[in-house]
Amino acid sequence: MLDMSGTLDAAVAAEALAGLGRSPKTLPAKLFYDAKGCALFDAITRLPEYYPTRTELALLHATVPAIARRVPPRSVLVEYGASSEDKAEILLEWLQAPAAYVPIDVAAAALAALRRRMQARLPVHPLVADFLRPLVLPREVAGHPVFGFFPGSTIGNLEPDVAICFLQQVRDTLGAGALFLVGVDLRKDPAVLIPAYDDAAGVTAAFNLNLLARLNREAGAAFDLSSFVHDARWNEQEGRIEMHLVSLRAQTVRVAGHSVRFEAGESIHTENSYKHTVGGFIALAARAGWRSAGLWRDAAGLFSLHLLTT
């Protein structure tokens, strides 16, 4: 939670201390998304090196007629992680008489703004919730066919066991017979991946370092930002991009009243972004009770849209 008063946030401090007490040190990626982090992520999505957002959008535009033909009329569109309506809007243009839109996100203000923009068009029932927890759909949408949507390759930020657990919960929430469209970034040459997570303009570096700035603001920390550098690594064995913050020198940093020791070259692991193969993702989804009902890829094979069914 962003504390506008400038006072300390005990939950942020506790999460930071827990991660920094581990070996190797970690910080939870969810802490990226304060107001500054959200603005920086928005800038990342427009970088020339960051192909996922524009590739997924172009793929969605190209394939939406085929996708929409698979979705029953009067379906409810349930979007996981909805904080802007642009991708959902593309689907809503093509779905046959959609009955309602249920955007799910922790950001209550963003959902309220989204509802105001969309409600003239169709009934909107926002669900303010952490979608990694079990959810129940609003009773207003009961009885309609359900079409879930999880764009942005956010599934790649989940550890495989967490992704399976999430997919099982989505299956329980959406119910038997539901369809679920998932945007999945694909495995590719690290020469393409690394610049996407370490851009020339330094926006991703600023996004990563903002974590430490946030801890300084909200968790009573005293990180010297000039003594840490952003590092994006491809982990071939795990099939993931890793983001790290590397300490340039041996140092001790105060965090919420505790001393945290860093050796020179020691890293804080801040994010994983798994890059799946098509077969690998279908197998992962199958472990959560979903089967593949459709697959679309861009011509260069960078990104995929998976339509799953129960």
Among 26, 63, 154, 173, binds ligand AVI (CB under 6 A): 154
Strands 228-235 and 240-247: antiparallel
Nearer to ligand AVI, 17 or 107 (CB): 107
Which residues in 207-266 contact ligand AVI (CB under 6 A)? none
From residue 136, give the alpha-carbon distance in Å to each of 68, 128, 169.
24, 11, 10
> For helices 51-69 and 86-94, what crossing angle results, to 10°?
20
Smallest gap from Cβ 285 to ligand AVI, in A, equals 17
Quick check: 156 binds ligand AVI (CB under 6 A)?
Answer: yes
What is the C-alpha separation between 112 and 117, in angstroms, rounded?
9
Site mask for ligand AVI (CB under 6 A), range 105-144, x = bound: ----------------------------------------
Longest dimension (CA), the chain: 61
Element counts in the chain: helices (H) and strands (E):
9, 13
Quick check: 181 binds ligand AVI (CB under 6 A)?
Answer: no
Site mask for ligand AVI (CB under 6 A), range 49-78, x = bound: ---x--------------------------
Quick check: 153 binds ligand AVI (CB under 6 A)?
Answer: yes
Supply the DSSP symbol for 75: P
Output the CA torsion 126→128→130→132 (10° steps).
-30
Is residue 166 within 8 A of residue 97, CB to CB? The reply is no
Output the CA torsion 242→167→302→56 (10° steps).
-110
Whether the upstream peptide bond of residue 48 has omega within 30° of 0, thus cis, is: no
Site mask for ligand AVI (CB under 6 A), range 21-50, x = bound: -----------------------x------
Closest residue to ligand AVI, based on beta-carbon distance: 273
Among 80, 101, 197, 234, binds ligand AVI (CB under 6 A): 197
Contacting range for ligand AVI; rule: CB under 6 A; set: 11-19, 108-116, 139-147, 154-162: 154-162
Paired strand residues for 100: 76
Site mask for ligand AVI (CB under 6 A), range 271-300, x = bound: x-x---------------------------
Smallest gap from Cβ 118 to ligand AVI, in A, equals 22
Binding site for ligand AVI (CB under 6 A): 44, 52, 152-154, 156-157, 197, 204, 271, 273
